[in-house]
Structure 1
Amino acid sequence: MIFVTVGTEQYPFNRLMSWVEVLLETQLIEEEVVVQYGSSNAVLPSGAKVYRFIKEEQFQELIQQARIVIAHCGEGTLLLLDSLDKPYILVPRSQRFGEHVDEHQVELALALSQINVPIAWSPGDLVRFIENPRQVSIADVSTATAIALCNSLQSRFGQTFPELSIGVSK
């Protein structure tokens, strides 16, 4: 089973819902799909079990049952999924498409893609990661990569991120 969650964000994530719809219609996804669609309102994937919001207990059960989880690229979602022993794919929400207040999920996704976290920028990326799920953990990032990521974030945002460099020394 594939579990797709967009969180409880006030902004719709219709783009992701459309991608899942297309993949189900074209049978590029041929297994059960459960979708938590939040504020999405355009297309809800037919052929999937859909829920607007899911209680925490059911949410945890669905994550445990899933073969792979597809989720938005929020920091909290990343930390939750990374703490589980489950392959996941992140899809960044974008302000450009009216999916968020800013582009921070896109910026986070760009940084995460540099350390091989599965990020889907298109329906094709979703298919590729669904067919060959990768179990990754941001905790497995090498010291050199962590330093490079911290330096990149610092130069991009002009501030330091001491919580990212705990235990990392140059």
Structure 2
Amino acid sequence: MIFVIMGMEVHPFDRLARAVDQLSAAGELGEDFFVQLGTCRYQPRHARFERFLSFGDICEQIRRASVVVTHAGAGSTLVCIEQGKHPVMVPRRSVLGEHVDEHQLPFAEKLGEAGLATVVREMAELPAAIAATGSRMVPADALGRARELTGWLEKFWRGLV
């Protein structure tokens, strides 16, 4: 199962919801999708979804998933890494009305550079990123490195405010 996390952000992330639904309909990846949809206006027709899940349920789905696709939220990303998963990160973009600023992009890029995640900037990259990630695991020291990058993000964000 491929688990997709949209997060709790009030801005919808319809771009990712549509892309995942198209992948699910095509069936080329050979797995079912389960989507934590959040506030998306678009509702998948070919993938199972729940709008919101408890933290415990999200952790359980991450544990069970062969691949996790997540918006580039620090919380969901750190849980993935903590559970040994190498997430596919799709940053929300403020220029597309998906968030209030662009902070998710540099966070995702830093994790990608550190080898802790695969970053998808354009939806056309998503199928290959999922296929390449497979059941790839992160190294044992990954959580410490991810927390360092979260500290970097906090400093970056303070510079914007």
Aligned pairs for 1:31-46 within 5 A? 31-42=31-42, 44-46=43-45
The answer on whether the counterparts of 1:95 and 1:102 sit within 8 Å (CA) in structure 2 is yes
Report deviation, 1:125.
Answer: 2.5
Structure 1: gaps (5+ residues)? 160-170
Looking at structure 2, the residues matched to 60 and 80 of structure 1 have their Cα atoms a distance apart, in angstroms, of: 7
Counterpart of 1:24, as a letter, is S
Looking at structure 1, the residues matched to 29 and 123 of structure 2 have their Cα atoms a distance apart, in angstroms, of: 11
Looking at structure 1, the residues matched to 41 and 104 of structure 2 have their Cα atoms a distance apart, in angstroms, of: 21
User: Do residues 16 (structure 1) and 16 (structure 2) align?
Assistant: yes
Aligned pairs for 1:1-170 within 5 A? 1-42=1-42, 44-116=43-115, 117-133=117-133, 134-137=136-139, 139-140=141-142
Counterpart of 1:12, as a letter, is P
Counterpart of 2:2, as a letter, is I
Which deviates more, 89-98 or 121-130? Answer: 121-130
Q: TM-score, normalised by structure 2?
A: 0.79
Counterpart of 1:60, as a letter, is C
Higher relative contact order (CA 8 A, sep 6+): 2
Q: TM-score, normalised by structure 1?
A: 0.75
Runs of 4+ in 1 over 4 A off after TM superposition: 156-159
1:167 equivalent in structure 2: none
- Aligned pair in 2 of structure 1 residues 18, 61: CA closer, same or farther (>3 Å)? same
- What percent of counterpart residues are identical? 31
